[in-house]
Structure 1
C-alpha cells in the first residue's frame, strides 16, 4: 500500500488542481515542409540534455532558463541517467542516497510511490515536477514515473514558489524526460536481482529520411520479493518525436503509458515494539506482511502526453511552451496494521480499499530576451503557468481481524467493507504570472530578481465538501559573485506558499502555508576540472502548518529548519570520480497546539546524514570500473513528543562494471551490502517501516 505520511492522508482529504485551458501555441501549428531534426548533444546548452558526467551542467530547475548550477542563487543537485544506470536503480527515490539535503525512500521500499524529504520536509505531494510541470499528488491520486524514461533528476533545494507556484517549502525534484537525440542508435538491457525481480528494456533513437527524429522507450518488469504475496508486473511504453518546422519552431512531442499490477510488499505498518525495540515475542521479520492474500492488490493505468515548443524569433526574443495532459486510474485494496495487541502478540488491522481517478492539464508559457542597459546585462523572462487537476475518489474501510506476529495465519474471512466514507470529486485550479531578471555586471556579479503572483481555487464536491481560494505573491532576491578559479559565493532570500486541503475543526477552509528562506553558500567549480563543490547554509520558516491534536485540527503551527549542506561531485583524478554529501539540520516545532511538541523535531525527520561514493576506472584493465560507497543515516523520532527514538544506521554499497566487447556491458551493483536490518522511520508507535535489505542486481546491456 502507498505509504501515508499522516492519518489525514488515510482519511482522504485530497485536493488537486484544475484550470481547463492550455495556452495555444500558434507557431507550432504552421504547415510543415521539410523537417529538420533537433540534435541533442551531451552537455548541450538547453539545460535538459544528457548530463554525461558533467559536474556543473546547465539546468533549468532554478531559473527556468538554461543556467549553470554555479550561477543559481540556491543549492541545486543534478543526477544524470548514467548514475541511475550504474546503480541498476528500479525506482527514482533510490537515487538520492548520495545527495545533500535529501532523504530518499524514508518509508523503506514502496513499489508504487517515490518518497523523499528535502530539507526536513516531505516533498512527495507538492514537490515533484516533470519537464517543469507539477506532478501534484494527494490522498491516493497522482502519477508514478519509472527512472528508465528519465534523462536526469534535478533537485532544487529550498523555497521555489517564485518559479513553480504552490510547492513544498523544502524544495522540489524535477524529472527531465528522455527525448529524441537526433541521431541513430540506442541500447537494450536485461536484468535480474536477488529478490526475484527481472526486467528487459529498450531505448532506441532514429531519424527518418524526412528529418523526423524519434525515440522509443519500452520496459517490462516482473516484480517480486520484499514480502509480497505474489509476483507482479510493471510496464512502460514511451514514444517521442522531435522536429523543426519551416518557420523555425522546435517541436518535441512525448507520450507514455504505464501499467502496474502487483501485490503490496511487507515490512510496513508495523509497531515500534517488535521493530525498533524487541517485544516479548522478539523482533518482527523484515518482510512481515500485515495484509491478506485474497484482499491484496494494486492496479494502476496511467497515460501522459506532453508537448514542448520553442520558437526563436531571431531578434533576441524566444518563446517556450510546455504543456501536458495526464490521466491515471488506481484500484487498490489491502488490510494493513495500525496497532500492537500486546496481550496476544498480534497486530490489529484495518481493511481498506479505494478507487481513484486523476486527470490533469498543465501549461507553462514563457518569453525570454536579453537586453543591455549601460553596464548591466538583463536576461529577462516572463511567463504564465496554468494548472487544472481533477480527482475522483471513493474510499471505504473497516476493522479487520488481528494477525499474529509470531505465527501468522492468512485466509481468515473478513467482513465486507461498509458504504464509502469518502465519495468525492476534488478539483484545483491554479494560475500564476511570473517575471525574472538575471542581471550581470562588473567583474562577475550576478543578481537574480523574481516575482510571481498565484491564484489557487480548490473545491471538493461530495463527502467531504470544501471550497477555498488562495491568492499569494512570492519573491526571490539573489546575489552572486564569480571569481577567477571558479569560486562563486552567493546569498538569497525567497518566500513561498503551499495550498492546504480540507477544513479545520471550526469548519473554515484551510489557508495556504507560507514562509521564507534565507540561504548563503559558496560553489566551487575549478577552472579546467570536472568538479563541483557546494556549501550551503539555510534558515527556513514554515508557517500556517496544519496540526491535529486529538480530535482538534487547527492551523497555527510554525516549523523551522536550519542547516548546513556540503556536496562534492566530479573527477578527483583521471578515472577516479567522487560523490560525497553531508547534511546537518535542526528541524523543530516552534509553535503548535500541543505544548509537548514545541521545541521538538517532527517524527520521521532525519537531521544528520552523510555519504561518500567513489568510482574508479582501472587503467590496467580496459573497460573495468569498480565502485563503492558508504551511507550514514542519523537517528530520528517515532513521535512528535520525541520520546521514542529510531536509531541511526550505516549502509554500504558496491559495484563492478565491465565492457565485454564493442557495445556490450555487464553491470553488477549491490546496495546495503551487509544486509543490515534497520527501521527507516516511524509515524508514531504503531506505524514503523523497515528499510530495504541487501539488493544485488546484474544487468547486461548492448548499445549501438
Structure 2
C-alpha cells in the first residue's frame, strides 16, 4: 500500500457535523419511511400491457430484487451474488467468475474478520497493509485494499482497516477486471477483482442467538444476534448484532479489543422495499506484529511462529461509524428503480514501528499518525426487462457518486537516529522522541479529497429462450483527486481525468446447469503524475486501464458446483524513462492465469470447498528492458485450497472439518533476486449440534495453522507479512 495511504483523512469540522447528522438521519428516516411505504404498497394497480407490435412487457415476476440468492446444500456457498450494477444474479447466468460465501460458513468456521472468510478461496490471499494492520487482499495477483471493499454494493462505506464479520450475511468475491460492474474503487485498487459484503437483515423466522467464545491464548468474546419481523404481513424487520471480544492473541504480547454494533431496519411492501443500516466498529491493537522491510539482498528467515518483534509502545486504534439508506420501487412489472445513500466517519490514530532488515542486522524507527476520514456515497438507477420479438432484454441504467475526504497529521522519530532492533531477540527501547512532523494531532487538517462520478448503461440480450445471453455496456467515469499541504490546507496537486470502460460478455447454456462464458472487460485506476525528477514534471497521465480477456465454464448441479476460468489481464505501469527522462505509461504488468474452484455437497454429509489457481505473471517493456519477463513482486505462480467437512454418521450432530492451503514461492524484489519460500497451512475444526434444555445449541472448535508453522505469507507491496501462529478458538452458540 503506498505511503500516502497512511495519511488520507478528509473533511472539515463543519462537514463532521453534517456527516454525523446524516448518519443519525439514516436511522431516523428508516423508522419514518415505512409508514409511507405502507401507503405506497396499497396501490395494486398495474401498468397496462404494451400494445406496440415489436415490444411486449413480460408480466411474470422474478425473485424480489432485494432478496438473497439461495445457498447450495450445506449452506456455505450461495448460488448467486450481488454483481454491482447488475444487482442480484444467478452465478451460472453471468459472464464473470464470482463466488459468494454465507453467514453459515462464517459461523461454522468462527471467522472473525474478512481475511478468515476469503481464506476459503483458492484465488485469494491476504497480507498486511503498508506500515499498519489493515487487511489487504490479493485477487489474481493484484492488491485489493481494505478501503475498497464494497458494502451492499456501494464503495467508501466499509470500516477502513478491517471488516469484522458479526453483521455480514454474504461475502461476494468478484474475480477479474470490474470497472463496469462496480466502478473504479476510491482507494485505487481492485484491478484483479473486488469484494462486496452484504449485511444481515431480519429473516422470516424470529431469531435470538447468543454466542460465547474464547481462544487458547486468552481472548474472550460474546456475540448477540436478534432478528424480528412485525406488521400484519411481516413487512417491517429489525436485525441487531452486537459483538465484543478482546484479550491476548496467539502472538506474544499482542492484545486486541474489538467492538461492533450493527442495526438493520427494513420494510418489504408489494412494490416498495427499504433498507437502513447503522454500523459502529472499534478496534484497538497493542504491540501488533508489524511487516518487515528488507534493505539488503537476503530474505531473512522467519522467527518462531508466535515471536513478536514489535515495540511495547506501539498501538493502533480505529473507530468507524457508518449509516446507509437503500430503496427499491417496482415502477412497472419487471421494472425497478433503486437508490442508495451512505456516509462513513473514520478516526484512526497510532504509534507504529517498522523493521528494516539488512543481512543480519535490523533498524527501527517510530511513526505516529492521526487520520480522520469522511466518506459520502450515493447511487441510483433503473433495471428492467422487456422483449423485442424473440429477443429478451435486461436493461440497466445507473449513476454512482463517491467522495472521500481525508484529514491527517503525522510525526516521526529521527531517521538518522534509527534504533537497533532484531527479528529474533528484540530489545525493548523507550519511545523515540519526535524529530519532525506535520499537522495538528488535536485537529488534523484536510490533506486530500477524492471524488468519483460515473454513469453506466448495459443490456443483456437473451436469444433462443435465454439459452444464449449477450451483455454489452459501458461506464463513463470521472476521477478527481486534490491534494493539500499539511497544516495550511493549501492545494498542492490536482487530478481530473475521465475514461469510459466497456463490457462485452456472453453466456451459452449447454444445459440448464452447465454454461460456458467469455468476457472482455477493464479495470480503472487513477493515472500517475510526473515526479520532480522527470523532464515533464507535473504531467498528469490518463487513468490506467487494466484490460482483461476471460473465458470459462460453470457447472451447477444444485447440490454442488464447479468452475474453470482462463484469463489474461494487462495493467499499465508508469515510470520515468532513464534515456528520455519522460514520465509515462511505458510498461505493463501481464497476468495470464487458470482458476479452478469447486464447492457444495456432492454426497450427503460431505461438503467441499477448494480449487487451484495458476498465474503466469510477467513485467513487460520495463525501463531499459532489464527486467522484462520478470515476475511482479508478491505474485505466487500457484495457490491451492482444499476444505472438507464430514458429518459423522455414528454421532448425530457431529461434524469434522479439515483445510489445507498452499502457496508457491514469491519474489520480494522486481529484479527477482530475493525469493520468498512456498508455504503450507493446515487448519482443523469440529462442531457438535444438540439440544440443551430444549434450546438448539452448538459447540465449536477451530484451529488455524495447526502445525504452528512459521513462514512469510506474503511479499506483496515489497515488504514481508508473517503468518499468524497456531490459533485455537472455542465457542458455544445457543438459540433462545
- Would you say 1:51 and 2:71 are equivalent positions? yes
The residue number in structure 1 matching 2:45 is none
Q: How many residues align?
A: 674
How far apart, CA to CA, are the structure 2 residues paired with 1:123 and 1:108? 10
Q: How does 1:153-232 map to 2 (within 5 A)?
A: 153-167=171-185, 168-208=190-230, 212-227=236-251, 229=253, 231-232=255-256
- Contact conserved, 1:226 with 1:265, CA < 8 A, in 2? no
Give the counterpart of 1:151 among 156, 161, 169: 169
Q: How far apart are the structure 2 equivalents of 1:111 and 1:461?
A: 23
Tell me the equivalent position of 1:40.
Answer: none
Q: Aligned match of 2:93 in 71, 84, 104?
A: 71
- Structure 2 matches for 1:627-642, cutoff 5 A? 627-642=657-672
Quote the residue 2:264 is aligned against: 240
> TM-score with structure 2 length normalisation?
0.84
Task: Report what 2:562 is aligned to.
Answer: 533
2:50 counterpart residue number = none
Q: CA deviation at 1:150?
A: 0.6
Residue of structure 1 equivalent to 2:155? 134
| CA deviation after TM superposition for structure 1 residue 288, in Å | 4.2
Quickly say closer, same or farther: Cα 1:232–1:613, change in 2 above 3 A.
closer
The corresponding residue for 1:293 is 312
| 8 Å contact from structure 1 (residues 458, 468) kept in 2 | yes
User: Deviations for 1:508-535, whole angstroms, at most 9, x for unmatched residues?
Assistant: 3354211211001000113xx4111100
SS state at 1:597 partner: coil
**RMSD, matched Cα:** 3.3
2:575/2:623 contact within 8 Å kept:
no
Q: In the TM superposition, what are the counterparts of 1:93-132 in structure 2 within 5 Å? A: 93-103=115-125, 105-107=126-128, 112-124=133-145, 127-132=148-153
Given that 1:381 and 1:436 are in contact with CA atoms closer than 8 Å, whether structure 2 keeps it comes out as yes
Shift in Å, 1:230? 5.2
- 1:145 aligns to what SS in structure 2? coil
Gaps of at least 5 residues in structure 1 are 38-42
The 1:376/1:29 distance shift into structure 2, 3 A limit, reads same
Q: Residues 56 and 374 from structure 1, CA distance in 2 versus in 1: closer, same or farther, beyond 3 angstroms?
A: farther
Summarize deviations over 1:509-568 as a string: whole Å, max 9, x none.
354211211001000113xx411110000011111446899x997643311110000000
> Would you say the 8 A contact 1:497–1:515 is kept in 2?
yes
Label 1:538 to 1:274 Cα distance change in 2 as closer, same or farther (>3 A).
closer
Q: CA deviation at 1:689?
A: 2.2
Q: Which residue of 1 aligns with 2:459?
A: 437
Q: Structure 1 residue 423: deviation in Å?
A: 6.2
1:388-430 superposed Cα distances (whole Å, 9 cap, x missing partner): 1111112222334212445433143523241328965211111
Q: For 2:115 and 2:722, how far apart are their aligned partners in 1? A: 15
**1:495 lines up with 2:522 in the alignment:** yes
> Hey, what's the Cα distance between the residues in 1 that align with 2:64 and 2:268?
17
C-alpha deviation, 1:584, in angstroms: 0.5
Aligned CA distance change for structure 1 residues 639 and 569 (closer, same or farther; 3 Å): same
For residue 67 of structure 1, report the CA deviation from its aligned partner: 1.4
- Structure 2: which 5+ runs fail to align? 43-62
Native 8 Å contact 1:479 1:492 kept in 2: yes
- Partner of 1:558 in structure 2? 588
Q: Give the 5 Å matches for 1:658-673.
A: 658-661=688-691, 662-673=695-706
Cα distance in 1 for partners of 2:717, 2:343 equals 38
* Alignment CA distance shift 1:287-1:63 (3 Å): same
Partner of 2:51: none
Which residue of 1 is the match for residue 291 of structure 2? 268
Structure 1 CA distance for aligned equivalents of residues 499 and 524 of structure 2: 7
CA contact (8 A) 2:405 2:446 kept: no
| Greater fraction helix | 2
Question: 2:218 aligns to what SS in structure 1?
Answer: coil
In structure 2, the CA distance between the partners of 1:335 and 1:48, relative to structure 1 (3 Å rule), is same
Q: Secondary structure at the match of 2:177?
A: coil
Give yes or no for contact 2:682–2:707 (8 Å, CA) kept in 1. yes
Equivalent residue, structure 2, for 1:371:
386
Of 629-638 and 562-571, the range deviating more from structure 2: 629-638
Q: What is the CA-CA distance between 1:621 and the residue it aligns to?
A: 1.4
Per-residue CA deviations over 1:235-268 (Å, capped at 9, x if unaligned) read 01111211246x8421111101111222142263
1:676 Cα deviation from its structure 2 partner: 1.2
TM-score, with length taken from structure 1: 0.88
